Structure 1
Amino acid sequence: MSGAKSLLEAAEDKVMEQLSDAIKGYNSTAAFSCGGTVPIDIRSTTRYGDFTSAKTPITSPPVTIRWDDQDGDVAGKIQFPVPSGKENVLEKLVKSCQPATFGFGGGNVLDERIRKAGKLEASEFSTSFNPYDYGIVDAVSQALLPGIARPEGIDKVENGANAQHWGVVAELYKLNAYSAPSDKFKPHVDTPRGLTQFGSLVVCLPNPHEGGILRVAHKSVERFFDLGRNDSKTDSTIHWAAFYSDCEHEVLPVTSGHRITLTYQLYVSEHLGGVVHPTFPTADPKFYPLYQSLKEMLESPAFMKKGGTLGFHCVHQYAHTNNTANQRLPHALKGIDVVIFTIFKSLGLKTQVRPVLDQEFNEGELDWNDPEFDEEESEKSAKSLTRALPEFKEIVILGEEAGFEPQDFELAKHWGKYDIFEHVKWLDQGDQKNNEIAMAFPEWCGNEHETGWWYSFAAILVDVPPFSKRNLGED
């Protein structure tokens, strides 16, 4: 039995090692794209989604497009989804488009062997759709901005804006029409339109078509966005994808119908603010490159067969030792942190962001005066424990009554009931620069009185059921 157990442990360790390597390399090899959907609600009369209810997903009313002819006069108006009997208006829109060019050698080139599509310039049309209204720009900021907002050795942009306050500006660039039987755009890399442009956003309006899949690749990793896919024949959904400018991408041939998209240029700017829906994120976790790796890990019988707790120390810094952190987290997560959180949550697992005490707290409780004290075994046992506080709070002073280091009863007094987890499977080690002082206490060193400190991390904790009860259905 012990041999079988060691083999199982070795298999589990291998899975953890592979996943840890994938997470370490996320920012350099895989954090290059994100995507999602916004359902159309034909009964809606407002541009804005319902941000007031955590039980109601964000939806969009039908999208209106108005466009001009070559003389600058209004040529037509159309809604997406296209109402029955208005197909001729769609054909009129497509015919109003000019052949689309692409950037090459500092200029614009027209070559239908490379790109065959139609386009309207931003000055030639208007739309009722705004990506800011539905959390799309905020989702892009969370997923992509951390990868470019803190380049090594650079803290400020030219205008002096602090990198911590950077945000995303989405500028409407073009309307594109890719039509059957063969419109396409072969593999290419975009030409940046300015020093602060870092990527592109493609919004596909709901219109029946086949083909036209967007392939985005960075180094050895590639993603496929089927922007025309709907989950049912009666479903009308806006699909979107965003990616970095240095990514190779292509539009595969459209084999039927018309693929109508709005393209936006993405720029770094000072943060403009926005609202992230607490329960129904606009970004679809399945489009994150780590999704499949995490799902396969949980589907493996070699991984946490008896269940347990999976942990991840947040990579990005959050001011978490204050009472307002409970309102901001998990909604303020960004980069790899929001990716990890939303993937596990989408797989139906209980996922929380909680303050976790530094391991040194456990070591501070060792009983050095016990005659049977075994330092090595006690330290090993202490390090296997993880104390997760129930909520984020301001720094507190402990140990005043007894005049020595705080004990568990004092934690319960100030924080309420908290959890002690044994043998948490950590996906990362935790960066000391991301911890914050959680509590202070008096301590004595001989006759000298000093102040001691305990630190906490903001961490993501995932309850993993036993393998026999593991149902990875999506929320």
Structure 2
Amino acid sequence: MSRYSELSDDIDFEFTPEKDDTNEINEYLLRCLDETQTAARVAVSKQHEAFVNPGLTIANILIPLPLMPRDAETIRSVSEEASFGKGDETVVDTSVRKIWELDHTQFMFANPAWQAYVATLLEDAAQSLAMSEVRAEPCKLLLYGEGSFFESHKDSENVPGMIGKLVICLPSKHDGGSIHLSHAGKSYVFDTDKTSDFGLTSLSWFSDVTPEIQPLKSGYRLVLIYNVTHTGHKHISAGLVEQQSENLRSALVEWQSKLPFQGKLVYKLEHKYTNSSLKLSNLKGRDRAVCQSLYEVGLSCGFTIFLAEMIRTQGADPRESDEYEWSTTGLTRLEDVRTCDGLAVCNIVFLNSGDILGSNLWDRDADSESGGDFTGNEDMSLTLRYHDTVSSR
């Protein structure tokens, strides 16, 4: 068995090729892409100018938004200083964490449309992080005032199956309080104050990411915390994201080093897309994860990633048999090649069989066909066409 194919089910493997073998290197790269379940991101933030008002109700008082100082003081009066885990204990220490909190049983949402809106925020975050089979469960309401902060810490997994957090910053004017996240030597900084006067900010990250909240300089920040739980079987984490990225980077570097003569490589996506929708932000499910990883990891390795429609035509002579004998060879090309941003690059690129990762891609019913009719003394060959969307180097 090739060392390239000796990969564990949880993709915790290293790439140590022993010889320059085109098939084995391509098979290894194909395995890396097939194993990709989540994108090369561990956190995401998005600002929303339009949003659904939750109808936040605390102690039978409806809290209007944007949050006013008098209502912030009402919330603080019924809240407790936020605790945190320290070893086996749960402690309150304002030198480490200075925030006020309410448990999810101490507030409610009067607006029946809020739950559906949270579902859209979760879906948006899940697409960006390539999560699947997830749900959001309300956990806490946090109030930050001037000087509020939280030192670098590890988030605990509060409920079974928890893989991350969905954080919703409700409209409340404030300054400062940037959110610093780190994982595997990489850092991310998200601000919530830029549109805090009237806008809403949603953030999400995996639970094994390390967060740190910088001190709030002024105003109040009102935050809803949701636990994101995975309802499927395969556990997803930031560690999995980083491992997949390293595996893919190793494969791309080796492919570039060992096969410099191979100028292009094509990977078939699971879904089909119209040419007008062909860009990274429109991809679905695992396609988004694969192409996001290829795009981000590829940039660091000097690769340029494109999206395109792949068309293969196969023909048969109707005189040969009542059940046409199809040719095992065909003509394959890329059409409407675009950048990941959707910008058109070129119209047609012809492919050789060695340019395409995978096998038995056309072992299925054709997407369209033409010909096969007799015309006078000659007959017209029957042609099958297969249409797929691909990612191409």
Normalising by structure 1, we get a TM-score of 0.49
d(CA) in 2 for partners of 1:214, 1:434? 47
d(CA) in 2 for partners of 1:124, 1:240? 22
d(CA) in 2 for partners of 1:407, 1:27? 32
Letter of the 2:205 partner, please give it: F
Residue 313 (structure 1) aligned to one of 253, 267, 276: 267
Written as runs of structure 1 = structure 2, the 5 A alignment for 1:117-266 is 117-127=99-109, 128=111, 129-130=114-115, 132-133=117-118, 135-146=120-131, 167-180=133-146, 182-230=147-195, 236-266=198-228
CA contact (8 A) 1:218 1:247 kept: yes
Letter of the 2:73 partner, please give it: E
Question: Secondary structure at 1:176's aligned position in 2?
Answer: strand
The structural deviation recorded for 1:341 is 10
Letter of the 1:35 partner, please give it: S
Count of residues in correspondence between the two structures: 282
Residue 33 (structure 1) aligned to one of 26, 29, 43: 43
Letter of the 2:136 partner, please give it: A
Unaligned runs of 5+ in 1: 1-19, 41-59, 69-73, 147-165, 272-289, 291-309, 344-350, 357-387, 390-395, 413-417, 424-428, 442-452, 463-475
The structural deviation recorded for 1:94 is 2.7
The structural deviation recorded for 1:136 is 1.8
The structural deviation recorded for 1:239 is 0.7
| Corresponding position of 1:107 | 89
d(CA) in 1 for partners of 2:153, 2:215? 15
**Residues 1:114 and 1:268: Cα distance change in structure 2 (over 3 Å):** same
The structural deviation recorded for 1:32 is 1.1
The structural deviation recorded for 1:246 is 0.8
Provide Cα deviations, 1:299-336, integer angstroms capped at 9, x if missing partner.
xxxxxxxxxxx98736xx62559xxx99xx94524443
The structural deviation recorded for 1:132 is 4.7
The structural deviation recorded for 1:61 is 3.3
Written as runs of structure 1 = structure 2, the 5 A alignment for 1:42-61 is 60-61=51-52
d(CA) in 2 for partners of 1:38, 1:104? 35
The structural deviation recorded for 1:209 is 0.5
Is it true that 1:420 corresponds to 2:348 in the alignment? yes
d(CA) in 2 for partners of 1:105, 1:189? 11
Is it true that 1:336 corresponds to 2:336 in the alignment? no
CA contact (8 A) 1:354 1:459 kept: yes
Question: Secondary structure at 1:188's aligned position in 2?
Answer: coil
Question: Secondary structure at 2:64's aligned position in 1?
Answer: strand
The structural deviation recorded for 1:103 is 2.0
| Corresponding position of 1:399 | 316
Letter of the 1:332 partner, please give it: K
Provide Cα deviations, 1:283-311, integer angstroms capped at 9, x if missing partner.
xxxxxxx9xxxxxxxxxxxxxxxxxxx98
d(CA) in 1 for partners of 2:40, 2:307? 23
The structural deviation recorded for 1:96 is 2.3
d(CA) in 1 for partners of 2:43, 2:64? 28
Residue 66 (structure 1) aligned to one of 23, 36, 57: 57
d(CA) in 1 for partners of 2:162, 2:85? 15
| Corresponding position of 1:77 | 62
Letter of the 1:421 partner, please give it: V
CA contact (8 A) 1:438 1:456 kept: no
d(CA) in 1 for partners of 2:177, 2:127? 27
Residue 432 (structure 1) aligned to one of 345, 358, 361: 358
The structural deviation recorded for 1:178 is 1.1
**Residues 1:352 and 1:400: Cα distance change in structure 2 (over 3 Å):** farther
Normalising by structure 2, we get a TM-score of 0.58
d(CA) in 2 for partners of 1:432, 1:241? 37
d(CA) in 2 for partners of 1:435, 1:172? 44
| Corresponding position of 2:71 | 89
| Corresponding position of 1:53 | none
CA contact (8 A) 2:76 2:100 kept: yes
d(CA) in 2 for partners of 1:174, 1:342? 36
Greater shift after overlay, 166-175 or 399-408? 399-408
**Residues 1:436 and 1:240: Cα distance change in structure 2 (over 3 Å):** farther
**Residues 1:397 and 1:222: Cα distance change in structure 2 (over 3 Å):** same
Question: Secondary structure at 2:156's aligned position in 1?
Answer: coil
d(CA) in 2 for partners of 1:131, 1:189? 30
Residue 389 (structure 2) aligned to one of 447, 455, 458: 458
| Corresponding position of 1:163 | none
Provide Cα deviations, 1:157-193, integer angstroms capped at 9, x if missing partner.
xxxxxxxxx511100000001110x110100111112
CA contact (8 A) 1:437 1:456 kept: no
d(CA) in 1 for partners of 2:282, 2:153? 36
Tell me how large the CA RMSD over aligned residues is: 4.6
Question: Secondary structure at 1:93's aligned position in 2?
Answer: helix
| Corresponding position of 2:376 | none
Task: Provide the identity percentage.
Answer: 19
| Corresponding position of 2:231 | 269
Letter of the 2:289 partner, please give it: I
CA contact (8 A) 2:83 2:93 kept: yes
